[in-house]
Structure formats: structure tokens, C-alpha cells
Amino acid sequence: MDIASLRKNHPDHWKKATAIRSLTLDAVAAANSGHSGMPMGMADVATVLFEKHLKFDASAPRWADRDRFILSAGHGSMLIYSLLHLTGYEDVTLDQIKNFRQWGAITAGHPEYGHVSGVETTTGPLGQGIANAVGFAMAEEIQRARFGKKIVDHHTYVIAGDGCLMEGISQEAIGLAGRHQLGKLILFWDNNDITIDGKVSLSDCTNQVQRFKASGWHVQEIDGHDPEQIDAAIAKAKTTKKPSMIACKTHIALGHAAQDTSKGHGALTDAEQLKAAKEVYGAPIGAFQVEDDVKAAWEAIGSKGAEARAEWEARFASISERKQAEFNRAYALDVPKKLGGVVRALKRQVAEGKPTVATRKSSEMALEVINPVMPETVGGSADLTGSNNTKTGDLGVFDVDNRKGRYIYWGIREHGMAAAMNGMTLHGGMRPYGGTFFCFTDYARPAMRLASLMKIPTVFVMTHDSIGVGEDGPTHQPVEHLAICRATPNSLTFRPADTAETAEAWELALSSKETPSTLVLTRQNLPTVRTEYKQKNLTAQGAYVLADAEAGKRQVILIATGSEVSLAMQARETLEAQGIGTRVVSMPCMELFAEQDEAYRRKVLPAGPVRVGVEAAVRDGGWDRWLLGERGREAKAAFVGMDSFGASAPAGVLFEKFGITAENVVAKAKELLG
């Protein structure tokens, strides 16, 4: 549909959509950077969606039963900022729009979760929003099953561009949504034929309609500028039991000189062309001007959901107080009171039984006691359930006919899993955790980074954490992945040494409200190193003294994590037998140790003794700070670990061949002592 017909046949719609286009042009021009064309192309779809379908109340951005709106094509951030401003979200003032992309403004270049109240997830890295949306839709299904349709009953809408659909993660998400018949997930494809390098046809010939149908989606094709077609398509999409894709044929940068070109994707800042576009629109020419009646019409849209919300609140008040409390607790990310108790009970049990088990098994033991008292957890694995030990007896399997199921078979889709888990966390009311091999954090990494950036506590369960993998060889043996996790801001990397530390790590991961956690667990069996029951969560301090030298005789400090703690303990025995006083520090979480006050850090790592770090990974993983001292010049130090990729052989052989042995630790310590 062309602009002339739109103006003539849908004047009210046109004016509202124009307000989005004008604000976009003005904000990008003011910032002298940004992406004008996408919001201009999708303004009609967004206007109809917000006006006719989206369940929301601008005065209550966090209303739990709102529809979720996700802009996977995050570079078009002015689309969402315009919508939120126009509909009256309090935080998105005109000043914020004017300060688009400036220091201190909440209107960041790409939509950032936690900055703007109406932004459901951080997008920009393409394709993520689609996979997030799958998680949102799964969370909705699970909670609707749990709390009833009266309390949870909303849609998830996502706008995706050609870039999102070319990224591989989109296929993982599409496959998941189709398999699970996520009927309340509705995806708009901004089908504008343009990428940064030129026409989509430069790099792709995929028939997206056929592709989505191949994974069980309901697909419609419409003119993305025709409000009637848009309305009808959304209405239809809401009735199908399949996830819906609406292919919206649009013109990028509609009405601008750069329409339908790559240039239109970027920042359209030419003043003359901007004016000309506004003239074509019949919009006010002045920067940031929106006619009063148009703003009023948008605000009416922003408040039309108030009634539905009030009704929802009444319904919510009508459910049992216990259910209300449970719902509120989960959404507040508060842990149940029983969590500490079950973790302590497990610690007491293993201090007595002293099991020799892999920490992946320890993790399962922890989950077996945690999942029953924490109904908001949802477990899963990227097709390694038996290896990741993520499935406990009570969870049930999430499926089309069992929406209450709390275990998800994610398939061989580490990236999609991680991003969908982020979506679940963001949805609220859920504590997802999911597993794969630690080496395949590589596949999940873009989503793991976003969890850190968004400050959300998704939990990644990464087993098979070193050359301890053995015969599967170097493609499956992480050596640099601890370094990767630890270098990422706002993340907690736990590498527990035995069941007690693993249980403590779980308690911390599930108590975190703003930081994602990665649990790094062994394939191979490990002895219990904490042989005495400690009520306190020692892992919370990041590192602690596990065994010490006699007072005044301390010459060596061995610092180790995970599977190497027991090896350090063996080395200590040898050293002590030779009269060399040796402390062993277990360091399950470097990041938490770094957060302790200096007095505690000094107590654990006093200056004086030589230090040997032991970890079956590269030294780059944050070790020098603890070995050399925080300001340097503190201690003579050595490191026993990996400085190459691993190899394919039985694990025991590999530890020998790569020199990660108690003997080598002893030798290094003695070498340092001179």
C-alpha cells in the first residue's frame, strides 16, 4: 500500500504511525547516529499491534500478565522508544528521546533491559530476540499451567529482520517453537529485502515462508503497511495452535529518499531529505513535534489496558494467599525459605558419607533436593541429559500435552537454549538452568554474555570441564573457557571441588538476582575434600582455607579449583611429610573472592609463602592476580595447568602427560623454595 492511499484511507492510523517515523528521524538526526529505516518500515505493524492487540498498561510496565513485545531487530530501537514515549510510559520522556544514544540517557543505541521499563530484553546482537521470545512463550505456558489461565494468559510478540533470520540461532529458536507448538508466540518478519551490504538476495535465497512451515509454524504473508491486513493477520495468528510467523512486506525508510536502499538502514540525517520525508507524511516539520491529537490518541492506547489490568488484579486477589505469595516470591526472585535447609542437609550427609562422585553427579544430588522446594526452577540440557545430570525425578517433561513439565529437552541447540533460558528469566517467575559440555559454552557464548550484560541470573550447567573429558579429545576439552567466563563482567564462575561446594554453588546461583552463574563440573569422579560439615556457605567467600600448615610453619600455599583441589591435597601431604608446611586454598569462585574485603583476602593468601596455582586450564584465567599478588611483588609463584589444547586419551593418562599431577605441584613448590 502506498503512502497516498494510506493517508487517504487510514488517516488516523497514518498519523499515529507517522509520529513514530518522525520521532525516529528526529532522534537519529539529533544523535547523528542510529538506524532510521527499520522503525520507518515497521511503524504500521507496530501501530496496529499496540492499538488493536497488545495487552499492556503504560502506567504499569511490569504488570505480570502483560503481553511481551520484543524487538529482535534491536538496531531499530527508536521504534520501541517512540512507542513507549507516545503511549505514555513515564520513564521515556521527550527529553530521553532527544538524548537518544547519549551518556546517561536510558535510550541507548540498542534497547537495554533494565534501562527502559518497557524493554523486555536487550537486543542488538541479531537473532537473540527470537530465541528469547521462545523462552518467554515457554515460561508463559509453564506458568499458565501452574497458576491457571485467570492469572497467566498472554502473548509474546517479536519483530525480526532479515539479519535475525540469517543468524543460525533463529533456526534453533524456530525449531523449538514449532516442536512445542508455542501457539501464543507471534513473530513479525520485517521483509524489506535490504541488509547493510545491499539486497538480501546478495547473500540469501531462502524462502522464509517455506522454512518456517518446515518447522511447524503457521505462516501468513501480508502487506506490512496495510493496517487492515496487519490487523487481520494478528487476529488470525492468535487463533492458531502453532507459533505464527507473519511475513510483512515493507519498505525500509518508507517515504524517505533512501527508501528501499541499504542507505535507508542507517542514520538518515540529511536535513533537507528529512524535511521532504515529513512533507510526504503530512507531518509537522519541527523536530520532535507530535500533534496534540495524535499524542492523545497514542496515550489512549497506552491506558486502554488499565481496565484489563484492574480485572487481573482482582482475579489475582481472589486466588489463595499461598498462591499469591508463591507467585510474588518467584517474580521477586526470592528464594524459598527451605532452600538453605535442604542444602545444609545435603552437606551434612556428604560430610558423613564422603562420596567419591563427579561434580556433575554432585550437582544432580543438589538438584534432587532443591527442585522439590523451588517450583520455579526449570531444568534442561542440549541433548546431554544423562551426561549433564540435569534431570531430577520430580520435574516432569515439558511438552505439548504436559505444560507443567519443568524439564526441557532442548535438542542440539546450545545457543538457542541459552537465549531461551534468558527469555524465561526475563519473563519473570522462573529460574531456568540448562546444561551442555563446558567446551560448548563456545556455542552458547553470545547469549551468556547478554545474561551478564542484562544482569539476569540465568544458570548455565557446564559439565566435562577439562582434559578430564578423556578420549573425546581436544574438540571436547575446554582449556580456555574458564578464562572466557572469568573475563566476562558480571558473571559468577563456580568450579566446585566436591559435593559440598557444588551444593553451595547451587545455593548461590539460585539466590543471585542480578548475576548469571556458570557451574563448571567434572565428568570424572572426585573424592570428598571437605570432610567436615560446615554450616556456613564457604563458597560464598569465593576461596577459603581447606587445610593448613602448623602455626608458624607455613612455607607454601597451594591454590586450586574443582578437580585439582584433591590433587593439591595430595601434594600437601607429600610436602608436609617432608617438613614443608603447606596450606591448601580451595577457590571455587574467583569473582566472589575478589568481592571479599581485603582483610579476608589477606587472611586466606598472606604474603610470605610461595604460591602454586593448580587448575587444568590456561593460566590466563585470572590466576596471576592471586599468584603474584594483587599489586604484584607479593609472592614467588608458579602455575600447574595447561598451555595447549588437550588430546584424545584416557583422562588419567592425560593428567600425567600434561603434568597436572601432585608430583609436579610438589616439585614446583620446592623449586620456588629454592
Which DSSP symbol is given to 637? E
Side-chain half-sphere exposure of 508, counting CA atoms within 13 A: 28
Cβ proximity to a second copy: between 430 and 637 the closer is 637
Catalytic annotation present for 615: no
Q: How far apart are CA 340 and CA 348, in angstroms?
A: 12
Handedness of CA 218, 221, 222, 224 (dihedral sign): positive
CA terminus-to-terminus distance, the chain: 83
Q: How far apart are CA 208 and CA 193, in angstroms?
A: 12
Q: How far apart are CA 267 and CA 595, in angstroms?
A: 42
Catalytic one of 140, 141, 414, 564: 414
Cβ proximity to a second copy: between 38 and 342 the closer is 38
Which pairing describes strands 218-223 and 610-618: parallel, antiparallel, or unpaired? unpaired
Torsion of CA 116, 117, 122, 124, to 10 degrees: -50
Q: Which three cell numbers stand for residue 339?
A: 532452600
Cβ proximity to a second copy: between 205 and 551 the closer is 205
Long-range contacts of the stretch 353-358 (C-beta < 8 A, 24+): 353/528, 354/527, 354/528, 354/531, 355/499, 355/528, 356/525, 356/526, 356/527, 356/528, 357/499, 357/525, 357/526, 358/463, 358/521, 358/522, 358/523, 358/524, 358/525, 358/526
Cβ proximity to a second copy: between 170 and 259 the closer is 170
Strand partners, 198: 195
Closest to 157 measured CA to CA, from 176, 129, 181, 193? 129
Residue 502 CB neighbours (<10 A): 34
- Amino acid at site 487: A
Residue 441 CB neighbours (<10 A): 21
Cβ proximity to a second copy: between 122 and 537 the closer is 122
Task: Cell 487476529: give the residue.
Answer: 235
Q: How far apart are CA 635 and CA 622, in angstroms?
A: 16
Cβ proximity to a second copy: between 179 and 315 the closer is 179
Cβ proximity to a second copy: between 162 and 260 the closer is 162
Q: How far apart are CA 182 and CA 223, in angstroms?
A: 25
Q: How far apart are CA 86 and CA 38, in angstroms?
A: 18
Backbone angles phi, psi at 615, to 5 degrees: -160, 130
Side-chain half-sphere exposure of 341, counting CA atoms within 13 A: 6
CB of 384 to a second copy, least distance (A): 6
Question: How would you label 573-584 residue by residue, b for 16+ Cβ within 10 Å and e otherwise?
Answer: ebbbeeebbbbb
Distances (CA, A) of 108 to 70, 96, 119, 120, 268: 16, 10, 11, 14, 18
CB of 29 to a second copy, least distance (A): 13
Cβ proximity to a second copy: between 381 and 664 the closer is 381
Distances (CA, A) of 529 to 478, 505, 566, 618: 23, 15, 6, 23
Cβ proximity to a second copy: between 177 and 290 the closer is 177
Q: Which three cell numbers stand for residue 103?
A: 551518556
CB of 198 to a second copy, least distance (A): 7
Strand partners, 248: 190, 222
Which DSSP symbol is given to 120? -
Backbone angles phi, psi at 663, to 5 degrees: -60, -45
Strand partners, 381: 409, 435
Cβ proximity to a second copy: between 169 and 333 the closer is 169
CB of 70 to a second copy, least distance (A): 14
Q: How far apart are CA 136 and CA 79, in angstroms?
A: 21
Cβ proximity to a second copy: between 133 and 500 the closer is 133
Q: How far apart are CA 527 and CA 658, in angstroms?
A: 21
Cβ proximity to a second copy: between 546 and 669 the closer is 669
Q: How far apart are CA 133 and CA 156, in angstroms?
A: 7
Q: Which three cell numbers stand for residue 238?
A: 492468535
CB of 331 to a second copy, least distance (A): 25
CB of 105 to a second copy, least distance (A): 8
Task: Provide the annotated active-site residues.
Answer: 414
